[in-house]
């Protein structure tokens, strides 16, 4: 599905937009499932293991921040990842052996759905190499008004910026960081059925949704199978046991087979430690610490 020019653009800039990555029929089914899941949240009064509720959520007006792990909630999200144009893009960029780290369906509600502060995904989960990326499949049209993804081209080749505030990992960069240049930001808008790609080290964020429409983006976070996590793996194995850990690796394979020889590359790493106290939300920690938002100055 990808041309060599598209692959070269991704390598150089750390992001890509792929149009019409799913068929109209696939898109319609994804929309149907998603709106049914949103409708099913009406009876909730607090977030749970399936949904993160947004401010003002009610039975009459369901407002969500995200649907968690959609690929585990409905098999069609897994089918799209493993047997569609999405799969072709994945193999074109990461090769034949790939696995999923996580998924989420960000359902940024209309009329002020929350911003996502600028950050690098790499800051949360460093690996032995940086052949990791995130797909953002647009389930509705995304324009300037409803909080599109924004990226800083070429930032995937630069440093890992500090995501700490007052000595704890807050999960976002400071607008005052000298290596953060907001003037270079590119806004990624597109029609439903299109998909953004961004490298794990690419600086990105999104503004609030100021429109009267949902901004529905299905995110898959993926890795080449020879990229192994360098933080938490040993404790994870201990907690699960080797057999369950191996079963988990196999269950997360999207294409190909597990790779037992991690590829070690000279990539910059900052550990996401120490954690914020009491498992506080990363962005809430940032705001509590008094760090201003980059979006406040746009």
Residues 112, 214, 139, 9, CA torsion sign: negative
**What is the per-residue pLDDT for 281?**
44
Distances (CA, A) of 200 to 120, 160, 234: 7, 11, 22
Residue of higher predicted confidence among 216 and 289: 216
pLDDT over threshold 50, residue 292: yes
Among 48-57, 126-135, 286-295, whose mean pLDDT is lowest? 286-295
Confidence category of residue 116, pLDDT binned at 50, 70, 90: confident
Residue 218 CA to residue 77 CA, distance in Å, equals: 9
DSSP-derived 3-state class of residue 254: strand
Q: What is the mean pLDDT of the chain?
A: 90
pLDDT over threshold 50, residue 280: no
Q: Count the neighbouring beta carbons within 10 Å of the beta carbon of residue 272.
A: 21
For 180-209, what is the mean pLDDT? Answer: 96
pLDDT over threshold 60, residue 279: no
pLDDT over threshold 70, residue 103: yes
pTM: 0.92
DSSP-derived 3-state class of residue 41: coil
**What is the per-residue pLDDT for 52?**
94
* Runs of H (alpha helix) within 49-171: 70-73, 75-82, 85-94
């Amino acid at each position: 599905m990808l041309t060599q020019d598209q692959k070269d653009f991704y390598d150089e800039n750390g992001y890509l937009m792929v149009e019409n990555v799913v068929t109209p029929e696939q898109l319609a089914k994804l929309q149907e499932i998603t709106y049914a899941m949103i409708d099913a949240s009406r009876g909730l009064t607090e977030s749970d293991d399936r949904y993160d509720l947004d401010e003002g959520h009610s039975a009459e007006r369901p407002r969500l921040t995200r649907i968690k792990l959609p690929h585990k909630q409905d098999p069609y999200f897994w089918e799209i990842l493993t047997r569609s144009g999405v799969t072709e893009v994945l193999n074109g960029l990461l090769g034949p052996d790939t696995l999923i780290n996580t998924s989420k369906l960000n359902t940024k509600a209309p009329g002020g759905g929350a911003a996502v502060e600028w950050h690098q995904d790499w800051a949360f989960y460093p690996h032995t190499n940086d052949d990791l990326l995130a797909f953002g499949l647009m389930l509705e049209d995304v324009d300037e008004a409803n909080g599109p993804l924004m990226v800083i081209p070429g930032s995937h080749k630069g440093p890992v910026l500090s995501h700490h505030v007052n000595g704890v990992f807050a999960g976002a960069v400071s607008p005052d960081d000298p290596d953060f240049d907001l003037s270079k930001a590119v806004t990624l808008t597109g029609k439903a059925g299109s998909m953004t790609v961004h490298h794990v080290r690419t600086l990105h964020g999104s503004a609030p949704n100021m429109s009267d429409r949902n901004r529905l983006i299905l995110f898959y976070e993926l890795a080449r199978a020879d990229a192994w996590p360098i933080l938490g793996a040993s404790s994870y194995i201990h907690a699960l046991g080797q057999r369950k850990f191996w079963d988990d690796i196999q269950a997360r394979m999207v294409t190909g087979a597990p790779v037992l020889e991690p590829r070690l590359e000279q990539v910059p790493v900052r550990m996401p430690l120490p954690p914020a106290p009491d498992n506080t939300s990363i962005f809430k920690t940032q705001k509590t610490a008094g760090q201003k938002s980059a979006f406040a100055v746009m």
